[in-house]
Every structure is written in C-alpha cells, then in structure tokens.
C-alpha cells in the first residue's frame, strides 16, 4: 500500500474536488490511456487500472471518506485482501456507462446495444431461444367512400409463416437438435485481449447454442415457410390518409417456434371529385347561377348523406363560404361528425346572344355607384395609395 500514489494525484484533482470534476478528470484520462487506444502498451494498461481504481474510490462518498481519513490502509475492507477487483461486472454502472459513452459512440448507444445483445445471448443460453417474428407493413389505397363509411377489404400479401411440419424448430419431426460443441450450448464464445474480454455469437451455431443435425425437409431447417396469405380487413368509418390499422399476430412467423409479429396496414385515400377533407371537416365548391346570386334563392348541395338545401341571401358574393354543421365525416374514435364547408362560385353565362347583350347593357345602365360597395372601397384605397406615391410638390 505504501507504494500506491495518492488518488487525487492520479486523477490530477484537488482534495476539495466535486463529483462532476472527478468524473470529468477520469473521463479525459481514461480515454487517453484506454487499452483499446493503446494496443499492446502495458504501461497504458497499468495507468488505466490505476485511474479506474482512483475513480472507484473518489466517486464513492463512503470510500472517499475512509480514504481521506485513513489513506490506502482504510480501504482494505472495501476491496478485500487482494485490493481493487478488476474482474467485477461494470456493465450496470451508471457512471461507467456515462464515461464510456464517449468511447463507444458519443451517446453510449453502441455501449447499450453491445450489452443489450449480451443480455439477449444470456437469455438464449438459459433456454429462451424462441424469437418473435418481424412486424410487416402493407400500404393500401382505398376510395373516399370506404374511408367515410367503412368497408371490408380483401388483401393478399406474401409472408413467412411458422412451418407446420416442425412447429418452427427447424428439425425434422421426431429428430432432436444437438448441443453445440464449440460453445457448449451457451450460444456465445469469449475471447480475451489483455485487460478486456470480448463476448460474441458462437460462429458454429450462430448464437443458438444448438445444431440442427437433421433439417426439416419442408422448411429446410429455417422453421419458416414462404406463403401468400389472404386476409379480410375491416376498415372502420372515419379513417383518412395515414391511418394505421394493426392486425395482431398477422406478421412474419416467429423464429424457432416464437410468436408471430404484427401486420400494420397504412391507408391512403384516393382524391375525390367533389370533396376535400381536413380532419373531420369536408370542403366543396357549388356553382351558383348569376340571377340566384343577385336575387337570392335556394340551391341544392351534395353531402355524404344526400342532397341538402342551402339558402342564399340577395347579393351573395362569389367565394362566400357557408357551413353545414354535422355534415362532415364521423370520427374514427367515436367522435361526432365534422362540418361541411360549401364555397359558392357565381357562374357567369357564356356565349350571350345579341338580345341578351342589349338587355344586360340596359340593366347595367340603370345601376348606380352605390350598388358596387366593393368597387367603391377598392377605388378609395387605390387613390389613397397612388396619392402617397406622387413626388413632393406635385
């Protein structure tokens, strides 16, 4: 113990350093002396061990208090007779996860992925070899009417299903698998390189821990069979483009007898000749004869439930928007229907005869300026603007 350097000196921090300062100092030095970055350098490996030992003590409030009070001698009971234990499992340490996040890809994603795979392998070694099948996506185009009222739709899709002959095991019925002799059924092999031990899938069995000696003739040992499946899909009322329907257990078959994945159907609604949709509301345009717009009257407009009457006041302007409440699309989650918004488009007659032109001119001659409020307002604002644009003094 007398030959050990002071832990604060090892990390190059003061004795009053806080937790964040200690962690930052260790992160910097650990990355510098990490064995993976100094392959074959024994000095760097020893330095890294020394740094890790110092950090283990100074980052633990209880151990740090013992060290500050009694020095290295006060840590004998903490580390045991052999001192610092480098064989301990660090994979669950939050501090080490944060530190090695820099080394394994910034956010620690690769770090998590590595130990996540290792955990999965350990589960396989304990007998949990079945795996859930993959989820599938199917894009389906439907008519506007189907999206509003709902519909049953037949779809056909290629899918891998669990082999019925071997129940997904991959072995010929009546035949047993053999334990992999390379990994002894664990599914993983461990290789050592200096300070670190690397665990990876067994190359002989692919991480399964078992060898298929007599493959199933129906699926050739894969446990899955390609098939084309026909399904009846119930489309509920109120769906729209982007709506997603989930069919549980209708995806790819599970591996080695595992459960099947799910099927997700993404809906795409074809454009409609009359209606446009925003949420539960519908929008459409309705042409209006010139005389009805001038004199007022009633027009018929289409809705998803049938024709509806719309009353127009005299002098209705082109582009005026009317709302018919409750004439929209029902909500997919049971909400009430939205509204129908009707935009009137005043239709001007074409190809006037000579008599019609004379009659129209006679009518227009009888109109006075006060009957054109929009034109008068436009003229007023235009003159004000043009007046401000005139050069000074003119």
Residue 273 has pLDDT above 70, yes or no: yes
In the predicted structure, residue 194 carries a pLDDT above the cut 60: no
pLDDT at 85: 45
Q: How far apart are CA 303 and CA 319, in angstroms?
A: 19
pLDDT digits (tens, 9 = 90+) for 316-342: 999 999 999 999 999 887 788 999 999
The region of weakest confidence among 23-37, 110-124, 247-261 is 110-124
User: What tokens were used for 222?
Assistant: 């894969």
- Copy the structure tokens of residue 98: 């944060």
Cα–Cα distance measured from residue 278 to residue 341, given in angstroms and rounded to the nearest whole number: 11
Assess contact for 281 and 341: CB atoms under 8 A: yes
For strands 196-201 and 188-193, give the pairing.
Answer: antiparallel
Q: What pLDDT is stored for residue 319 in this prediction?
A: 93
Q: Is residue 115 predicted with pLDDT exceeding 60? A: no
- More confident site: 196 or 24: 24
Q: Is the pLDDT assigned to residue 125 strictly greater than 50? A: no
Give mean pLDDT, residues 174-198.
78
What is d(CA 312, CA 343) in angstroms, rounded to the nearest whole number? Answer: 12
Q: Nearest to residue 187, comparing CAs of 243, 128, 263?
A: 128
- Bridge partners (DSSP) of residue 297 are 312
Residue 160 pLDDT: 81
- Going by pLDDT thresholds of 50, 70 and 90, the confidence category of residue 243 is very high
How does pLDDT run across 52-64, given as a tens digit for each residue?
A: 999 989 988 888 8
Q: Is the pLDDT of residue 101 over 60?
A: no
**List of residues 6+ apart from 25 with CB closer than 8 A:** 11, 12, 13, 17
Among the residue ranges 66-80, 213-227, 334-348, the one predicted with the least confidence is 66-80
What is the pLDDT, as a whole number, of residue 213? 83
Q: What is the mean pLDDT of residues 124-138?
A: 67
Give the best-scoring range by mean pLDDT among 32-46, 124-138, 232-246.
232-246
Give me the pLDDT at residue 278, please.
93
38-52, 179-193, 286-300, 356-370: range with lowest mean pLDDT: 179-193
Q: Inform me whether the pLDDT recorded for 82 exceeds 50.
A: no
Whether the per-residue pLDDT at 157 is higher than 60: the answer is: yes
The full 3-state SS of the chain, as one line of letters, equals CCCCCCHHHHHCCCCCCCHHHHHHHHHHHHHHHCHHHCCCCHHHHHHHHHHHHHHHHHCCHHHHHHHHHHHHHHHHHHHCCCCCCCCCCCCCCHHHHHHHHCCCCCCCHHHHHHHHHHHHHHHHHCCCCCECCCCEEEEEEECHHHHHHCEEEEEEEEEEEECCCCCCCCECCCCCCEECCCCCCCCEEEEEECCEEEEEECCCCCCCCEECCCECCCCCCCCEEEEEEEEEEEECCCCCCCCEEEECCCCCCCECCCCCCCEEEEEEECCCCCCEEECCEEEEEEEEEHHHHHHCEEEEEEECCEEEEEEECCCCCCCCEEEECCCCCCCCCCCCCCCEEEEEEEECCCCCCHHHHHHHHHHHHHCCHHHCHHHHHHHHHHHHHHHHHCCCCC
Q: Which two tokens stand for residue 88?
A: 């301990």
CA pair distance 250, 142, nearest whole angstrom: 21
Q: Under the phi-then-psi rule, with left for phi > 0, alpha for psi from -120 to 50, and beta for the rest, what region is 168? A: left
Q: What would the mean pLDDT of 189-217 be, rounded to a whole number?
A: 77
Q: Percent of the chain scored above 70 by pLDDT?
A: 81
Residue-averaged pLDDT of the chain: 80
For the CA atoms of 23, 24, 28, 34, the dihedral, rounded to the nearest 10 degrees, stands at: 20
Higher pLDDT: 313 or 197? It is 313
Q: Which pLDDT band, with edges at 50, 70 and 90, does 122 fall under?
A: very low
Statement: residue 128 has pLDDT above 80: no
Please state the rounded mean pLDDT for residues 231-247: 92
Question: Which pLDDT value is given to residue 193?
Answer: 60
Task: Please determine, for residue 162, whether its predicted confidence score (pLDDT) is greater than 60.
Answer: yes
Cα separation, 284 vs 310, whole angstroms: 13
356 pLDDT higher than 60: yes
Q: Are 78 and 63 in contact (CB under 8 A)?
A: yes
Residues in the chain: 394
pLDDT at 267 over 60: yes
Per the DSSP assignment, residues forming a β-bridge with 233 are: 153
Rounded to whole angstroms, the Cα distance separating 194 from 154 reads 61
Alpha carbon distance 52, 287 (integer Å)? 81
State yes or no: pLDDT of 288 exceeds 90. Answer: yes
Q: For the beta carbon of residue 164, count every other beta carbon within 10 angstroms.
A: 10
The whole-number average pLDDT for the span 32-44 is 82
């Amino acid at each position: 113990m007398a030959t050990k350097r002071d832990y604060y000196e090892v990390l190059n921090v003061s004795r009053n350093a806080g937790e964040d300062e200690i962690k930052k100092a260790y992160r910097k030095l650990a990355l510098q002396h990490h064995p993976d970055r100094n392959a074959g350098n024994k000095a760097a490996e020893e330095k890294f061990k020394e740094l890790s030992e110092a950090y283990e003590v100074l980052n633990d409030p209880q151990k740090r208090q013992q060290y500050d009070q009694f020095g290295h001698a006060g840590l004998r009971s903490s580390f045991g007779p052999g001192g610092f234990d480098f064989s301990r499992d660090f994979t669950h340490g939050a501090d080490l996860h944060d530190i090695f996040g820099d080394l394994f890809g910034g956010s620690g994603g690769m770090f998590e992925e590595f130990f996540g795979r290792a955990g999965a392998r350990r589960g396989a070694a304990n007998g949990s070899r079945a795996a859930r099948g993959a989820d599938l996506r199917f894009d389906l185009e439907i008519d506007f009417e189907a999206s509003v009222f709902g519909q049953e739709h037949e779809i056909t899709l290629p899918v891998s299903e669990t082999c019925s002959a071997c129940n997904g095991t991959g072995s010929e019925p009546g035949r047993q698998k053999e334990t992999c002799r390379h990994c002894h059924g664990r599914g993983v092999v461990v290789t050592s390189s200096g300070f670190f031990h690397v665990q990876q899938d067994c190359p002989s069995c692919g991480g399964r821990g078992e060898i298929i000696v007599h493959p199933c003739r129906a699926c050739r040992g894969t446990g899955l069979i390609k098939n084309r499946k026909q399904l009846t899909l119930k489309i509920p009322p109120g769906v729209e483009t982007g709506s997603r329907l989930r069919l549980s257990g209708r995806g790819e078959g599970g591996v080695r007898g595992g459960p099947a994945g799910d099927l997700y159907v993404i809906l795409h609604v074809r454009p409609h000749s009359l209606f446009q949709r925003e949420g539960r509301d519908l929008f459409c345009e309705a042409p209006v004869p010139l005389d009805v717009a001038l004199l007022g009257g009633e027009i018929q407009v289409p809705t998803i439930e049938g024709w509806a009457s719309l009353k127009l006041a005299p002098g209705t302007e082109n582009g005026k928007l009317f709302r018919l409440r409750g004439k929209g699309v029902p909500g997919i989650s049971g909400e009430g229907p939205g509204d129908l918004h009707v935009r009137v488009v005043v239709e001007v007659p074409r190809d006037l005869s000579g008599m019609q032109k004379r009659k129209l001119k006679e009518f227009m001659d009888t109109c006075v300026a006060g009957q054109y409020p929009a034109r008068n307002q436009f003229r007023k604002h235009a003159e004000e603007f043009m007046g401000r644009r005139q050069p000074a003094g003119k």
